Structure 1
Amino acid sequence: MWTVEEKFVRSGELRLWTERCGDPGAPTVFLVMGTATQGIGWPDEFVEALVDAGRQVIRYDHRDTGRSDCVDFAANPYALGDLAADAVAVLDGHGVPTAHVVGTSLGGAIGQWLAVHRPARVRTLTALASSPMGNDPGPAWARAFAGQPPVAGELPPPTARFLAHVLASAAAPRETYAERVDADVRTWRVLNGDVLPFDEDAARRFVERCHARARDYAAALQHDLAGRRFADDRRAALSAVTAPTLVLHGEQDPLFPPAHGAALAAQIPGARLAVVPGMGHHPFFAPGLTGRIAELVVEHTR
């Protein structure tokens, strides 16, 4: 018999929404979402698959997303280490000393930070659609937008289609609720990649649910500001990671092309790289992929 518990936990002065599902005595899978995305970005289907496989699951809303508190970034700027401290606070709030950490995109970088700086909290690490946490993509993006060739040894920028979407999205109207929802759905469609089908109805329901439950929907954009801040803690060598690590990456990831996943796996001792055919940056709106990703996580956390 498994249970569902929603509660708020404290990270300093912030209150963070959390949800814990499954048998409290089972091993914990700790789900960490990506930039500007609420914890419900991990679909119920995914959570249920992990619970059915004998795990308990914790997911949560980052600061500035969903039902968690928002921050005045100008007065109190934060960085990756602060988001990682929030993650530790969630584990502490549920009395979980160590967990199988599964992070996607920015969440994968948070997982890396924990594995380096708080290794006792990370039983295993799964980094999905991520890049080495010390990689600053800004220069590569700037060269790509300027039409300049990449620098040798530099991890590649997003695909041309994704960069075009970024420019078009910046100019798209967002004055009405419908326009804002449509813009977000277009972004999820591009992140899905161009090979696998895209479940637009599921993406639209998700976006509408996120709008409905957010304290301040626009606050999530501050994650982009946080992601651009680099300090020594973020540049720490990933060779220090001792947790068994699985790097899951989409063959068609338009934001972090596959070289990012390969570079991440190469920097972590013993890491296993699994490239998923056809998968883009976010797998959960491609029919059938949610179950496949769940199977890979279950296998890695067994």
Structure 2
Amino acid sequence: MQDVNIWSEEFGAATDAPILLIMGSMSQGILWPDEFVARLVTGGRRVIRYDHRDTGLSDTVDFAARPYTWHDIKNDVYRVLDAHGLDSAHLVGHSAGGLLGQYLAVERPDRVRSLTVIGSSPLGGAEGQVLMRALLGQPQPEGSLPEPTPEFVAFYRTLISAPPPDNRADRIDAMIAEQRVLHGTGLPFDEDAARELQERIHDRARDLSAVANHRLAGAADPDFEPVGVLHQVKAPTLVVEGSHEPAKPGHGALIADRIPGARLLTVAGMGHTLPPEVHEELATAVLAHTAG
């Protein structure tokens, strides 16, 4: 499905080394914090961020009439690179964005100068199935990825059983509650900053409910992820995980173990979000990894 318009923006000089920021499932590109982006630009990088289809200012889709899969979401990454005139770039992916980055590094190594994966799971690890079994209280088969934290599981069990909020104030309160859980317990949670961010996300979305199509896209192609291919990644790889990661604890070490030469960075206090306290460390690490 190539006729979906994808919103993107870039910062920095066109002559600087390009970094493409890939956010996670159901997430707008502005979840890459402005302050973090500014640090990368000041460090001499051309930085691009974008909204996935069905998020933010990108097109929304009538999924029943025009279904798509995660292969389409993956291929949108190539479309963003093409639209900015880039044969290749340094890829920095968060959560499911890190999964997409891994996939591209295997599928099109010529387009990936380096790979940075933040708060993600290993490609082929069936993280979604692990989460679903955890939510249903089912045992995990031997060799499965580590489960999310009990607090994470309890929150999402309640979320999926509750009726969706039907007004702006309640929707934003629910979004803040989710951000609090994803933030983890390692750093203080700034509720005022969270409200400002979630109001921005809410009000810039063409259709806030359209993000649910990402789940439908996953169900439409449960075998999206190739298994046992991470050893094929040739791009220099940096894997970042927070010490208080609630959604994918310990998954970063598994990625680093499966990609030859990959380096693992554990950020003290960080959960599954990118709060101001970690911007300097993250930006310094990314700048070093994308140098040369």
Interval of TM-score (by shorter of Structure 1 and Structure 2): over 0.9
Residue of structure 1 equivalent to 2:176: 185
**Inter-partner Cα distance in structure 1 for 2:185 and 2:32:** 22
Q: For 2:170, what is the secondary structure of its paired residue?
A: helix
**Inter-partner Cα distance in structure 2 for 1:78 and 1:133:** 20
Which one-letter code corresponds to 1:50 in the other structure? L
Residue of structure 1 equivalent to 2:280: 291
**Inter-partner Cα distance in structure 2 for 1:280 and 1:94:** 32
Structure 2 segments unaligned to the other structure (5+ residues): none
Structure 1 segments unaligned to the other structure (5+ residues): 1-10
TM-score by length of 1: 0.91
1:142/1:212 CA distance change after superposition, 3 Å: closer
1:266 aligns with 2:252: no
Do the aligned residues in 1 keep the contact of 2:218 with 2:224 (CA within 8 Å)? no
Q: Percent identity?
A: 49
**Inter-partner Cα distance in structure 2 for 1:143 and 1:107:** 22
CA deviation after TM superposition for structure 1 residue 169, in Å: 2.0
Q: For 2:126, what is the secondary structure of its paired residue?
A: coil
Residue of structure 1 equivalent to 2:25: 35
Residue of structure 2 equivalent to 1:174: 165
Do the aligned residues in 2 keep the contact of 1:80 with 1:110 (CA within 8 Å)? no
**Inter-partner Cα distance in structure 2 for 1:130 and 1:227:** 16
1:246 aligns with 2:238: yes
**Inter-partner Cα distance in structure 1 for 2:263 and 2:51:** 28
Do the aligned residues in 2 keep the contact of 1:172 with 1:183 (CA within 8 Å)? no
CA deviation after TM superposition for structure 1 residue 296, in Å: 1.1
Tell me the C-alpha RMSD between the 2 structures.
1.7
**Inter-partner Cα distance in structure 2 for 1:33 and 1:268:** 21
Residue of structure 2 equivalent to 1:5: none
Q: Which deviates the most, 12-21 or 195-204?
A: 195-204
**Inter-partner Cα distance in structure 1 for 2:211 and 2:132:** 23
CA deviation after TM superposition for structure 1 residue 236, in Å: 5.7
Residue of structure 2 equivalent to 1:123: 113
Aligned residues: 289
Do the aligned residues in 1 keep the contact of 2:33 with 2:274 (CA within 8 Å)? no
**Inter-partner Cα distance in structure 2 for 1:233 and 1:194:** 31
1:197/1:227 CA distance change after superposition, 3 Å: farther
1:68-107 Cα distance to aligned partner (Å, 9 max, x none)? 0012223333333211211111110110111110000010
Do the aligned residues in 2 keep the contact of 1:70 with 1:219 (CA within 8 Å)? yes
Q: Which runs of 4+ in 1 moved over 4 A?
A: none
TM-score by length of 2: 0.94
**Inter-partner Cα distance in structure 2 for 1:148 and 1:41:** 32
Do the aligned residues in 1 keep the contact of 2:125 with 2:144 (CA within 8 Å)? no
CA deviation after TM superposition for structure 1 residue 149, in Å: 4.1
